Amino acid sequence: MSDRKCWIDHSGIVLHSVDGFDIIHCESCGFKHIIPIPDEEELERIYKHEYHVKDKPLMLQHQLEDKEWHAATATARLEAIEKQLKRKGSILDIGSGNGFFMKQAVELGWQAKGVEPADKAVEYCHSIGLDVIHGVFDQQCADSIGKFDVVHLWEVLEHLPDPAGMLDLCRQVLNPGGMVVIGVPNDYNELQKIMSEDLGEKPWWLAPPHHINFFNRSSLERLLRRLDFEPLHYEITFPMELFLLMGKNYLHDPDMGRECHAMRKELELTLTRTGNRDVLDKLYESFAEAGFGRHAVLMAGKTTNIRNI
Ligand SMILES: [Zn+2]
């Protein structure tokens, strides 16, 4: 496919067309995204109610079943953040969901505040004593929320019509020497392409309008550098697509999806419980080098004079 399309000031080669949207490799943004980009009103309706209630009704139940794994995952991420920051401090979790990351941060001695648009998720966070603001992180919120050492955005940027605008707001609430920690799906990766181009699976990672943007390590780094953030540390999460290539096709079978998740969880918890988290890190570093991994996770500093990667 080599059609080009333009929409307002976005233009590029069309990679796919799904449900009335085109996915372009946008030359002005430097990453892949859908056009037309949905408007804020439509998105607010989706995220305030539908996403957690209708589209992801089992999310909290599954997270509670997985709470040991969530705690281990959050602890590992917080340790990686602390290594960069060289101390504990304050964290703003934008799109804090059901608060599993925040809860672990608080337990480990960080100060944590969240912002979350989904009403059910906020209710749950309040019920377990977490400090979460119900709403979206916009200019008004940024002006009044205070300053933080870390802004954490997990599975957020792929949903936003203006990810650069969001990162600019994050910069405004960061203390000097502060950093953003971003986790996004690592999409259009080689394993996905094998499944769709060579094995006939339709490109399942395209989910407009829920997913607007599609990043990988290089496009995320490019976006951050353009906004004067300095990448400090990169990691990935387990390349779940490997299960597809091992014959465990979870794409059309939620039970199989839970089974694959349980296997990944077992690997991570076994290595954590036996004190071998460093082995897991080594394994994941090699996957990251090869461009594999379900999520691309990037930590980037506000200042431009530190560089680790
Ligand atoms: Zn664009």
pLDDT tens digits, residue range 121-179?
A: 999 999 999 999 999 999 999 999 999 999 999 999 999 999 999 999 999 999 999 99
CA of 121 to the centre of ligand 1 (A): 31
Average pLDDT over residues 303-307: 53
CA of 197 to the centre of ligand 1 (A): 25
Q: How far is the CA of 57 from the centre of ligand 1 (A)?
A: 32
**Which two three-digit tokens encode residue 83?**
């290594």
**60 or 99, higher pLDDT:** 99
Ligand 1 centroid distance, CA of 97 (Å):
27
> Looking at the predicted structure, is the pLDDT value of residue 51 above 60?
no
Distance 242 CA to ligand 1 centre (A): 30
Q: Measured in angstroms, how far is the CA atom of residue 14 from the centroid of ligand 1?
A: 12
Contact criterion met (CB below 8 Å) for 249 and 223: no
Cα(63) to centroid of ligand 1, in Å?
34
Report CA(161)–ligand 1 centroid distance (Å). Answer: 9
CA of 35 to the centre of ligand 1 (A): 8
Distance 30 CA to ligand 1 centre (A): 7
pLDDT of residue 43: 76
User: Mean pLDDT, to the nearest integer, of 262-271?
Assistant: 95
pLDDT, average across residues 67-84:
95
CATH class for the domain made up of 39-301? alpha beta
Name the band, by pLDDT with cuts 50, 70 and 90, for residue 306.
Answer: very low
Find out whether 215 and 184 touch, Cβ atoms under 8 Å.
yes
84: pLDDT strictly greater than 60: yes
Please report, rounded to a whole number, the percentage of residues in the chain having pLDDT higher than 90.
83
- Chain-wide mean pLDDT for the chain? 92
CA distance 263 to 87: 33
In the chain, list all ranges with CATH 3.40.50.150: 39-301
Alpha-carbon span 59 to 99, nearest angstrom: 12
- Give φ, ψ of 38 to 5 degrees: -60, 155
Given a cut of 90, whether residue 21 has pLDDT beyond it is yes
CA of 13 to the centre of ligand 1 (A): 11
> What's the number of CA atoms in the CB half-sphere (13 Å) around residue 29?
28
